[in-house]
Structure 1
Amino acid sequence: MKCSPGFVTVALLMLGQTHGDSVTQTEGQVTLLEEASLTMNCTYSTIGSPTLFWYVQYPGEGLKLLLKSSRDQEKKSNNGFEATLDSKSKSFHLEKGSVQGSDAAMYYCAMSDTVMGTVGGAERKL
Structure 2
Amino acid sequence: MHSSTHSVLLIILIFRGTNGDSVNQTEGPVTVSEGAPMTLNCTYQTANSAPYLFWYVQHLNKAPQLLLKGLAADKKVEHEGFQATPVKSDSSFHLQKQAVQASDSAVYYCALSDTVREGCGGAEHKPRVQMGLWLWAAPQGVIVSLSSVLC
**TM (normalized to structure 1)?**
0.82
In structure 1, the partner of 2:13 is 12
Q: Whose Rg is larger?
A: 2
Q: What code does the residue aligned with 2:43 have?
A: T
The residue aligned with 1:104 is 105
Report 1:74-93 matches (<5 A): 74-93=75-94
> Aligned pair 1:23/2:48, yes or no?
no
In structure 1, the residue matched to 2:74 is 73
Aligned residues: 122
Paired-residue identity, %: 44
**Which ranges of 4 or more aligned residues in structure 1 deviate by more than 3 Å?**
113-119
The 3 A distance-change label for structure 1 pair 15 and 55 is farther
RMSD: 2.5
Higher strand share: 2
Q: Which whole-Å deviations, capped at 9, do the CAs of 1:11-68 have from their partners, x for residues lacking one?
A: 33324141x2111113233332111100000000112111000001111111110000
1:42 aligns with 42
Unaligned runs of 5+ in 2: 116-124, 133-148
Give the Cα separation in 2 of the matches to 1:72 and 1:29: 30
Q: Which position in structure 2 is the counterpart of 1:3? A: 4
Residue deviations 1:60-90 (CA, integer Å, cap 9, x gap): 1111100000141110001100000000010
Give the TM-score normalised by structure 2. Answer: 0.70
CA distance in 2, matches of 1:117, 1:83: 17
